[in-house]
Amino acid sequence: MIFDLKKKEKNYKTFEDKSTNLKINIEDEKCLRYMGRIVRNIKVAESPEWLKENLKAIGQKPINNIVDAANFVMFDLGQPIHCFDLDKLENEKLIIRNGKIGENITTLDKKEIKLDDSILVIADEKYPLAIAGIKGGTRAEVDSNTKNIVIEVANFNSTTTRKTAKKINIQTDAVKRYENEISSDLCSVSMDAISSMIYSLAGGEVESVVDIYPKKTEHRIIKTSTEYINKRLGGNFSKEEIESVWNKLNFVYTYKDGLYEIEIPSLRLDLIGEHDLTEEVIRVLGYDKLIEKLPEVKINSSQVDNTYHKVLLAREKLLNDDYS
Q: Is residue 299 part of a domain?
A: yes
CATH number at residue 262: 3.30.56.10
pLDDT for residue 3 is more than 60: no
pLDDT for residue 5 is more than 70: no
The secondary structure element, H or E, covering residue 25 is: strand 23-26
Query: What is the per-residue pLDDT across 9-51, written as a single tens digit (0 to 9) for each?
Result: 788 888 999 999 999 999 999 999 999 999 999 999 999 999 9
Whether residues 169 and 125 fall in one domain: yes
pLDDT for position 2: 55
pLDDT for position 302: 61
Q: Is residue 1 part of a domain?
A: no
Whether residues 45 and 148 fall in one domain: yes
Q: Is residue 86 part of a domain?
A: yes
Range of the domain at 153: 11-212
pLDDT above 90 as % of the chain: 79
**Highest-confidence range of 269-273, 292-296, 301-305, by mean pLDDT?**
269-273
Our count of domains for the chain comes to: 2
Q: Is residue 4 part of a domain?
A: no
The secondary structure element, H or E, covering residue 40 is: strand 31-40
Q: Is residue 87 part of a domain?
A: yes
Estimate the share of the chain in helix, then strand, then coil, as percent rounded to the nearest 5. Answer: 35, 20, 45
Whether residues 170 and 262 fall in one domain: no
Whether residues 278 and 152 fall in one domain: no
What does the alpha-carbon distance between residue 41 and residue 44 come to, in Å, rounded to a whole number? 10
- Amino acid letter at 71? N
Nearest to 12 by CA among 200, 280, 284, 245: 200
Whether residues 159 and 103 fall in one domain: yes
Query: What is the per-residue pLDDT across 187-197, written as a single tens digit (0 to 9) for each?
Result: 999 999 999 99
Whether residues 182 and 143 fall in one domain: yes
- Confidence bin at 304 (pLDDT 50/70/90): low
- What is the four-CA torsion angle of 179, 184, 190, 191, rounded to 10 degrees? 120
**3-state SS class at 59:** coil
E strand residue ranges, 104-251:
104-106, 112-114, 120-123, 128-131, 135-136, 149-156, 205-206, 210-212, 220-224
- Confidence bin at 67 (pLDDT 50/70/90): very high
Query: What is the per-residue pLDDT across 169-187, written as a single tens digit (0 to 9) for each?
Result: 999 999 999 999 999 999 9
Pairwise pLDDT comparison (121 vs 234), residue with the higher score: 121
Average pLDDT value for the chain: 92
Domain-ending residue, one of 166, 194, 212: 212
Whether residues 194 and 81 fall in one domain: yes
Whether residues 152 and 263 fall in one domain: no
pLDDT for position 231: 92
Pairwise pLDDT comparison (219 vs 208), residue with the higher score: 208
Query: What is the per-residue pLDDT across 130-141, written as a single tens digit (0 to 9) for each?
Result: 999 999 999 999
Q: Which residues contact 165 (CB under 8 A, 6 or more apart)?
A: 134, 171, 172, 175, 179
Distance of CA 42 to the CA centre of its chain: 29
Whether residues 173 and 238 fall in one domain: no
Pairwise pLDDT comparison (303 vs 43), residue with the higher score: 43
Q: Is residue 5 part of a domain?
A: no
List the single range of 35-49, 205-219, 299-313 with lowest mean pLDDT.
299-313
Whether residues 226 and 274 fall in one domain: yes
List the single range of 38-52, 65-79, 206-220 with lowest mean pLDDT.
206-220
- Confidence bin at 216 (pLDDT 50/70/90): confident
Q: Is residue 300 part of a domain?
A: yes
What does the alpha-carbon distance between residue 45 and residue 201 come to, in Å, rounded to a whole number? 9
- Record the pTM: 0.82
- Cβ density class 9-43: b for 16+ within 10 Å, e for less: eeebeebeeeebebebebebebbbbbbbbbbeebe
pLDDT for position 310: 86
What does the alpha-carbon distance between residue 44 and residue 146 come to, in Å, rounded to a whole number? 7
Mean pLDDT score, 215-239: 91
Domain-ending residue, one of 212, 245, 261: 212
CATH number at residue 104: 3.50.40.10
Domain-ending residue, one of 154, 183, 212: 212
Q: Is residue 178 part of a domain?
A: yes
pLDDT for position 322: 80
Contact between residue 233 and residue 281 where contact means Cβ atoms under 8 Å apart: yes
Whether residues 296 and 237 fall in one domain: yes
pLDDT for residue 210 is more than 60: yes
Counting beta carbons within 10 angstroms of the beta carbon of residue 106, is it exposed (0 to 12), middle (13 to 18) or buried (19 or more)? middle
pLDDT for residue 317 is more than 60: yes
Provide the residue count of the chain: 324
pLDDT for position 4: 65
Whether residues 15 and 132 fall in one domain: yes
